[in-house]
Amino acid sequence: MSDSFKMDNLPFSLLDAREQALVNDNLETACFQKGEVIIEAGKPPQGVFIIATGRVAESDVSEPDADGKPLASHVFVRYEDEDYFGGWSAINGVAIHNFVAVEETVCHVLPTSILLELMTSNHLFADYFQQNLSAKREIVAQHGQGQDMAEFMLARISDGLIREPLIVPEGTSLHEATRLMREMKSDCLLAQKRSRHGMVTRTDLLDAVVLKGMPLETDVCEIASYRLITADPEDYLFNALILMTQHQIERVVVMGENHRLVGLVELTDVLSHFSSHSHVIGLRVERANTLEELREAALGLTDLIRALISTGVKIRFTMKLLAAMNGRIISKLFDLIIPSDMRPHVCLMVMGSEGRGEQIMKTDQDNALLVRNGLEWPGLMDTMRHFSETLISFGFPPCPGNIMVSNPEWVNSIDEWARKLTQWSQNCDGLSVMNLAIAVDSKPIAGNIALFKVARNAFLRRVHSNDIFFSHFAKAALSFDTPLTLFGNLKDKEQLDVKKGGIFPIVHGVRTMALEQRILETNTFKRIEALVAMGRMDKAMGENLGEALSIFIQLRLNQQMQRVEASEEGLDRTPNTIDLQKLNKLERDLLRDALHIVKDFKKLFAMRYHISS
């Protein structure tokens, strides 16, 4: 075997010692001159070719013109150092494309028989060669350089963490309930009232007796909370932590099929499985009574992100947890700044990537305020400016487009907001489309949520079945070119704007389709799942779009963290830039594959909404 062959590159690093020895014993070296055909269409290849030096073009078979002369062939992809090609052809026994040396090229050749033997003995190796984006990304996440997917992050609730709850029947007194909890050393119990179960904690008992003066003979069912936060036993433990963070609780009720009570999961048990300090930040947020205490908790989020990345937590889990954390911080700030008598009459919304729950690093703040029609609040704008300034001090940068509650344009009554949404949907200028796209991703986060629902539902009724609107709104998804060359390689050699080239086409395309179907979810991944479930998107395309979006966000996050740590101010001034020189080969391959998914999606999307190129 040549010393230039790198066995530590995927997919060969997936092989065990015996399998790698088999490769060493059978790997051959072949040299090709410029223009020489390495694999000919219609014929079986020798095997898989791994380029040591040089370049190779994969092209279709040219058809003859009217005079019998061959037409120029179309080049699909160019392969360079350490790339492999011919795997699909070797597996299927015949090549459908030509592979030609663009320049003098040296390749390592793994014979087809050895390739098939390795695929039979090693399923991960086989998955990687089958070119499935989801399978390949999962392999890279677990085995690639710099990744360490901790197994406990994939633990499920059913993995031995469910506690058997203390259940008492209807008619049990507060006194008896307290005695049983002490005897069983339990912090809570479930009170059963016919077929329903209600939660009662030590704090509930204390409040009932001491603060409310209820008799000790009172039925415990009278103080139970029957609006339980539940989880499925096969859900991820990580999601249970997110639920507890979102709802500010310390336990989740586990329900199986047909609403069968399985047990409880306690916060203390969940935390014992996680190495990040997310619970510390969550507790500091809930206990914050001053702006300074809340600011200290908010500034700890960057360390939390770093901890999640270092333990290899999947990007969707990271987004969920950070969205929950950011939501609690902003909601707590709302409670500290907004007068209590005004809170029932206003609704704070987060929009854009915050509304979708897809902002991990604090790149900017997009928010707006809805107020009840006719509300009189003389100090409204002064309070809103204070709110925005405080968020900035918490590490949430101001929005470059001034889409913040400190801007009167984004503080509206229900009627004003509904009129603006309608006006934006009727106009064709770029600013209106951008404003509407941001607003469509709105999510209520504090105050009276009913105000938000009234305005949203009125808008959805106006645009329903309006084909002209959707065709125009859809065009924005095709605003930016996919950064791939005619040969299928990455177009930019140094830096790439991943938001324009990859993230935005997926997000806005899916946003358009979800709005047309009146899907209320704002998260792009959940919108995709809903579209697939409704039969409005092919399942394979949905899975590929989700994987591609995860890849873009993960690569962007990795480099955002690098820039933040290198900056004296702790800021990233180019949050959407990916430096291609800092990507390893595996990351470049995944990025290229993900961009091909975007390119395919844009073609289908343009046909769906009758958009000409």
131: confidence class by pLDDT, cuts 50, 70, 90? low
Higher pLDDT, 562 or 31: 31
Quickly state the pLDDT bin for 145 (edges 50, 70, 90).
very low
Residue bearing the bigger pLDDT, 289 or 406 = 406
Beta-carbon contacts of residue 463 (< 8 Å; ≥ 6 apart): 425, 469, 470, 515
**47, 109 contact by CB (below 8 A):** yes
Confidence band of 271 (pLDDT split at 50, 70, 90)? low
pTM of the full structure: 0.65
Per-residue three-class SS string for 367-423: EEEEECCCCCCCCHHHHHHHHHHHHHHCCCCCCCCCCCCCCHHHEEEHHHHHHHHHH
Confidence of residue 149 (pLDDT cuts 50, 70, 90): very low
Give the model's pLDDT for residue 440: 93
For residue 254, what are the β-bridge partners? 231, 263
Amino acid 341: pLDDT: 93
Span of 105-109, 143-147, 419-423, 483-487 with lowest mean pLDDT:
143-147
Percent of the chain with pLDDT over 90: 47
Distance CA 62, CA 585 (A): 31
Mean pLDDT, range 541-557, rounded to an integer: 93
Taking 60 as the threshold, does the pLDDT of residue 279 lie above it? Answer: no
Choice among 244-248, 280-284, 326-330 with the minimum mean pLDDT: 280-284
Can you state the percent helix, strand and coil of the chain, rounding each to 5?
A: 50, 15, 35
Residues 6+ apart with CB under 8 A from 391: 330, 333, 365
Place of tokens 């003859």: 64
Chain-centroid distance, C-alpha 15: 31
pLDDT for residue 152: 43
- Output 106 or 127, whichever has higher pLDDT: 106
Q: Which of 92-96, 162-166, 433-437, 602-606 has the lowest average pLDDT?
A: 92-96
Reading the block at residue 173, the tokens are 């007194």
pLDDT of residue 151: 41
Q: Say whether 191 sits in a helix, a strand or coil.
A: strand
DSSP string, 131-188: T-HHHHHHHHHHHSTT----GGGG-BTTTT-PBPPPEEETT-BHHHHHHHHHHHT-SE
3-state SS class at 530: helix
What tokens does 420 get? 């603006």
Average pLDDT over all residues of the chain: 85
Taking the C-alpha atoms of residue 566 and residue 129, their distance in angstroms, rounded to an integer, is 37
Residue range 387-394: mean pLDDT, rounded: 94
Q: Report pLDDT for 463.
A: 79
**Where is mean pLDDT largest: 291-305, 370-384, 414-428?**
370-384
Contact 89, 46 (CB under 8 A): no
Tell me how far apart the 2 most distant CA atoms of the chain are, in Å: 102
Token code pair at residue 206: 């204390």
- Average pLDDT rounded to a whole number, residues 99-125: 91
Average pLDDT for 139-163:
56
The distance of Cα 474 from the centroid of its chain, to the nearest Å, equals 22
Confidence band, pLDDT 50/70/90 cuts, at residue 427 = confident
Regarding beta strands 251-255 and 230-231, do their DSSP bridges make them parallel or antiparallel, or are they unpaired? parallel
> Looking at residues 415-425, what average pLDDT do you find?
91
DSSP string computed for 264-320: EEEHHHHHTT--S-HHHHHHHHHH--SHHHHHHHHTTHHHHHHHHHHTT--HHHHHH
pLDDT over 60 at 275, yes or no: no
> How large is the average pLDDT for residues 530-543?
94
Distance of alpha carbon 573 from alpha carbon 571, whole angstroms: 6
Question: What is the pLDDT, as a whole number, of residue 488?
Answer: 60
Mean pLDDT (whole number) for 79-105: 86
Single-letter residue type at 497: D
pLDDT at 69: 53
* pLDDT at 148 (0 to 100): 33
**3-class DSSP string for 307-335:** HHHHCCCCHHHHHHHHHHHHHHHHHHHHH
Q: Based on C-alpha coordinates, what's the Rg of the chain?
A: 29
Domains along the chain? 12-62+71-130 (2.60.120.10), 167-266 (3.10.580.10), 464-613 (1.20.120)
Confidence (pLDDT) at 600: 92
State how far the alpha carbon of 432 is from the alpha carbons of 439, 474, 505, in Å: 10, 13, 18
Residue 395 is predicted with a pLDDT of 86
- Rounded to an integer, the average pLDDT of 346-357 is 93
| pLDDT tens profile 17-36 | 999 999 999 999 999 999 99
What tokens does 61 get?
A: 């078979």
pLDDT of 74 > 70? The answer is no
Asked if 53 and 105 count as a contact pair (C-beta separation under 8 A), the reply is yes
**Between residues 463 and 291, the one the model is more confident about:** 291
Model pLDDT, residue 282: 65
276, pLDDT greater than 50: no
Residue type, 215: P
* Best CA proximity match to 501, nearest among 578, 380, 595: 595
Cβ-count burial of 287 within 10 angstroms (0-12 exposed, 13-18 middle, 19+ buried)? Answer: exposed
Mean pLDDT calculated for residue range 495-512: 94
The mean-pLDDT minimum among 246-255, 299-308, 442-451 falls in 299-308
